[in-house]
């Protein structure tokens, strides 16, 4: 297949590109390198030393003999160049990962909210718009999030995207209807993914675009089979308060003797998936497109659920790290249960990589190897959801400073 990977330089994008290239697909990356620019803005760097995209591609060619092309292009900002590029490449499939993906970054300030909405909504709409205008039948695969459902606990398993409901009509008859599961975003970032769902529903209905939306959980891990092939193919690894995801942060914290930063009681339950399974799910989704005229296909891309304090306990038992309950900068339920259906991927052959202590130890080793690159002042989460919460989290920063002195 000819596959265009928008956002192919990012945390999910890079391992996806090399995974699909190793399977023999023709891959072109389109990326504006905004994730690297945000590192500069935040004054952080990936824990793992990351080469430029051009250098990564040179090494990939050297190691495997396979070519991946790269186009520097901002698809949110430049509709006409995006359309022109698509017309030239004419992909069989599109993987859309070109969105700002951190909830805390999206809540930092009014500027960050505006940036996240403009970037994410325009990126998705520009691609859908161009596909229609070019009369292109490429299968459109989008990286969505489990966060579109919210994490409320109503004691029912979250289905894969759609919900059967009964609506009473004006004559009192109960009419059955399938609806998109009610959107309940917990951040501006998650809100953009809810808006994406409406765009997908519209373009599938109006123009028969073939769309798959992957509702992914929190990703952990860093390596995949392909990124292990050479030091310079390594994936990025974020640990800072904005972009570091919770389990990877706990592992870094454990590796350098920083307390594990549990937000609030740690009673939040979230869905998780290892990075290797994430790229495999994308491959499975590509091989199972919807038909023209079908509603968007939605998969829950997760393999396990964990409560945050249980994860912290696991990492603490393995590493001897201390657990620190810090004021939660986010407006989220302090405690929630979460049951999620992921039957479609399991039926299509996904063999989940479940969280094993051995794998966590391996990751702590990665963290220890690059510990000298960690700036501890970037560990505390400093982006709060409301001004009230912002005033409470100064204590997190102080605790971070105290632990550095200790």
Q: How far apart are CA 211 and CA 213, in angstroms?
A: 7
SS3 sequence of the chain: CEEEEECCCCCCHHHHHHHHHHCCCEEEEEECCHHHHHHHHHCCCCCCCCCCHHHHHHHHHHHHCCCEEEEECCCCCCHHHHHHHHHHHCCCEEEECCCCCCHHHHCCCHHHHHHHHHHHHHHHHHHHHHHHHCCCCCEEEEEEEHHHCCCCCCCCCECCCEEEEEEECCCCCEEEEEEECCCCCCCHHHHHHHHHHHHHHHHHHHHCCCEEEEEECEEECCCCCCHHHCHHHCCCCCCCCCCCCHHHHHHHHHHHCCCEEEECCCECEEEEEEHHHHHHHHHHHHHCCCCCCCCCEEEEECCEEEEHHHHHHHHHHHHCCCEEEECCCCCCCCECCCCECCHHHHHCCCCCCCCCHHHHHHHHHHHHHCHHHCCHHHCCCCCCCCHHHHHHCHHHHHHHHHHHHC
Q: How far is the CB of 183 from ligand USQ (least distance, A)?
A: 12
Is 245 an interacting residue with respect to ligand USQ (CB under 6 A)?
A: yes
Q: Rank residues 68 and 194 by Cβ distance to ligand USQ and give the closer one.
A: 194
Active site residue 351: no
Position among 44, 98, 102, 214 found at the interface with ligand USQ (CB under 6 A): 102
Considering only residues 215 through 234, tell me which ones interact with ligand USQ, judged by CB under 6 A: 216-218
Q: How many CB atoms lie within 10 A of CB 52?
A: 12
Given the residues 113, 193, 297, 378, select the one marked as catalytic.
193
Position among 21, 34, 224, 268 found at the interface with ligand USQ (CB under 6 A): 268
Q: Judged by CB under 6 A, which stretch of 13-21, 55-63, 260-268, 282-290 contacts ligand USQ? A: 260-268
- Contact 161/198 with Cβ under 8 angstroms? no
Q: Rank residues 56 and 263 by Cβ distance to ligand USQ and give the closer one.
A: 263
Q: Rank residues 26 and 335 by Cβ distance to ligand USQ and give the closer one.
A: 335
Q: How far is the CB of 293 from ligand USQ (least distance, A)?
A: 29
Active site residue 227: no
Is 34 an interacting residue with respect to ligand USQ (CB under 6 A)?
A: no
Is 307 an interacting residue with respect to ligand USQ (CB under 6 A)?
A: no
Q: Rank residues 62 and 265 by Cβ distance to ligand USQ and give the closer one.
A: 265
Is 236 an interacting residue with respect to ligand USQ (CB under 6 A)?
A: no
Q: How far is the CB of 190 from ligand USQ (least distance, A)?
A: 6
Given the residues 145, 192, 227, 303, select the one marked as catalytic.
145
Q: Rank residues 52 and 265 by Cβ distance to ligand USQ and give the closer one.
A: 265
Given the residues 89, 151, 189, 243, select the one marked as catalytic.
189
CA pseudo-torsion sign 8, 43, 367, 249 = negative
Is 308 an interacting residue with respect to ligand USQ (CB under 6 A)?
A: yes
- Region of 359 please: left (phi>0), alpha (psi -120 to 50) or beta: alpha
Is 142 an interacting residue with respect to ligand USQ (CB under 6 A)?
A: no
When CB distances to ligand USQ are compared, the closest residue is 147
Q: What pairs with residue 174 in β-bridges? A: 168
Is 256 an interacting residue with respect to ligand USQ (CB under 6 A)?
A: no
Position among 35, 96, 108, 249 found at the interface with ligand USQ (CB under 6 A): 249
Is 263 an interacting residue with respect to ligand USQ (CB under 6 A)?
A: yes
Q: How far is the CB of 142 from ligand USQ (least distance, A)?
A: 12
Q: Judged by CB under 6 A, which stretch of 71-79, 101-109, 316-324, 365-373 contacts ligand USQ? A: 101-109
User: CB under 8 Å to 300, separation ≥6 — which residues?
Assistant: 146, 158, 160, 161, 215, 217, 271, 340, 341, 342, 344, 345
Q: Rank residues 21 and 100 by Cβ distance to ligand USQ and give the closer one.
A: 100
Considering only residues 184 through 213, tell me which ones interact with ligand USQ, judged by CB under 6 A: none
Q: Rank residues 108 and 249 by Cβ distance to ligand USQ and give the closer one.
A: 249
Active site residue 193: yes
Q: How far is the CB of 266 from ligand USQ (least distance, A)?
A: 6
Q: Rank residues 26 and 332 by Cβ distance to ligand USQ and give the closer one.
A: 332
Q: Which residues bind ligand USQ (CB under 6 A)?
A: 101-103, 145-147, 216-218, 245-246, 249, 261-263, 266, 268, 270-271, 308, 328, 330, 332, 381
Catalytic residue positions? 145, 189, 193
């Amino acid at each position: 297949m000819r596959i265009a990977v928008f956002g192919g330089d990012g945390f999910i994008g890079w391992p996806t590109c090399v995974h699909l290239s190793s399977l023999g697909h023709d891959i072109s990356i389109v990326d504006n390198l905004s994730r690297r620019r945000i590192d500069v803005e935040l004054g952080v760097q990936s824990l793992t030393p990351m080469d430029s995209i051009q250098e990564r591609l040179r090494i990939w060619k050297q190691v495997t003999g396979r070519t991946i092309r790269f186009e520097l292009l901002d698809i949110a900002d430049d509709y006409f160049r995006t359309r022109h590029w698509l017309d030239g490449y004419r992909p069989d499939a599109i993987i859309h990962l070109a969105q700002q993906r951190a909830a805390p970054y999206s809540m930092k300030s009014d500027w960050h909210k505006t940036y996240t909405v403009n970037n994410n909504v325009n990126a998705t709409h520009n691609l859908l718009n161009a596909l229609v205008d070019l009369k292109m039948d490429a299968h459109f695969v989008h990286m969505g999030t489990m966060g579109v459902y919210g994490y409320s606990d109503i004691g029912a398993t979250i289905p894969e995207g759609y919900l059967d409901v009964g609506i009473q009509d004006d004559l009192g008859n109960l009419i059955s209807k399938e609806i998109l599961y009610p959107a309940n975003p917990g951040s501006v970032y998650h809100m953009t993914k809810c808006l994406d769902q409406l765009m997908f529903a519209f373009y599938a209905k109006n123009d028969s675009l073939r769309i798959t939306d992957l509702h992914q959980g929190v990703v952990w891990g860093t390596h995949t089979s392909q990124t292990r092939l050479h030091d310079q193919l390594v994936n990025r690894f974020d640990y800072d308060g904005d972009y570091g995801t919770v389990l990877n942060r706990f592992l870094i914290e454990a590796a350098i003797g920083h307390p594990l930063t549990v937000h609030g009681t740690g009673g939040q339950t979230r869905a998780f998936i290892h990075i290797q399974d994430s790229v495999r799910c994308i491959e499975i989704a590509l091989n199972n497109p919807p038909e023209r005229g079908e509603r968007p296909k939605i998969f829950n891309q997760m393999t396990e659920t964990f409560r945050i304090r249980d994860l912290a306990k696991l990492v603490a038992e393995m590493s001897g790290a201390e657990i620190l309950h810090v004021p939660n900068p986010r407006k989220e339920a302090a405690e929630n249960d979460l049951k999620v259906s992921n039957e479609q991927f399991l039926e299509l052959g996904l063999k989940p990589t479940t969280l094993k202590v051995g794998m966590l130890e391996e990751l702590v080793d990665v963290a220890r190897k690059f510990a000298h690159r960690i700036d501890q002042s970037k560990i505390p989460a400093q982006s709060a959801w409301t001004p009230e919460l912002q005033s409470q989290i100064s204590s997190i920063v102080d605790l971070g400073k105290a632990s550095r002195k200790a």
